[in-house]
Amino acid sequence: MLLYVFYILSAITLGTAFLTVISKNAIHSAIYLVVCFFSLAGHYLLFNAQFLAVVHIIVYAGAIMVLLLFTLMLMNLNNEDETSKPLYTKFAAVISAGLLCLVLIAALRKALPENIEYVNSGTDFQSIKVLGKVLLNEYAVPFEFASVLLLVSMIGAVLISKKEEKI
């Protein structure tokens, strides 16, 4: 039963991620991305990481998507303002994406999984207390860098969206 749920969630994740990339409307792309985030939270639930699933929904599907939609609305994107790319740039993008896929496939075929025996240490890494201690003791600097990065991106989005006054 869990295998079928995994396959269904994987199909939803891959489908909505693909639709996010190929969608021409930015709002539809954002909605597909929210569905993708929810299906990823379903994967976390399958891994028995309930706290991580809830935090994923709150942070990504909530805060980041609101920030993205706010930025899209501020930028006021119009199709008539958008310039069309020449055919050779589209062709070069397809060729480079194909080469990247070939390199990734070759690297994954050469990679061998490590056979490490699982040792139960008795520590519950799912508890919020342990996660809070690890985040705020060992990973305090990256945690703060992430908050500064979000602040700078929000300021950048507001500055990009500002209209310049014509003299």
Q: How large is the average pLDDT for residues 145-158?
A: 87
* More confident site: 79 or 143: 143
Confidence of residue 76 (pLDDT cuts 50, 70, 90): low
| Mean pLDDT, residues 52-81 | 76
Burial state string for 87-126 with b = 16 or more CB within 10 A and e = fewer than 16? eeeeeeeeeeeeeeeeeeeeeeeeeeeeeeeeeeeeeeee
Q: How far apart are CA 104 and CA 97, in angstroms?
A: 11
Whether 148 shows a pLDDT value over 80: the answer reads yes
pLDDT of residue 99: 95
Distance (Å, whole) CA 89 – CA 86 = 6
Higher pLDDT among residues 14 and 61, named by residue: 14
Helix or strand or coil: residue 148?
helix
Q: Which residues contact 58 (CB under 8 A, 6 or more apart)?
A: none
Q: Is the predicted pLDDT of residue 166 greater than 70, yes or no?
A: no
Q: Which long-range contacts (CB under 8 A, 24 or more apart) does 118-123 make?
A: none
- Tokens 């070759």 belong to which residue? 106
Contact indicator for 33, 65 with CB cutoff of 8 Å: yes
Query: Per-residue pLDDT tens for 103-141?
Result: 999 988 888 777 778 777 776 766 778 878 887 888 889
Domains of the chain: 1-78 (1.20.120.1200)
Query: Whole-model pTM above 0.85?
Result: no
For position 79, what pLDDT does the model report? 58
- pLDDT at residue 26 above 90? no
Which residue bears the tokens 């080469």? 99
The answer to whether 3 touches 29, Cβ cutoff 8 Å, is no
pLDDT of residue 68: 78
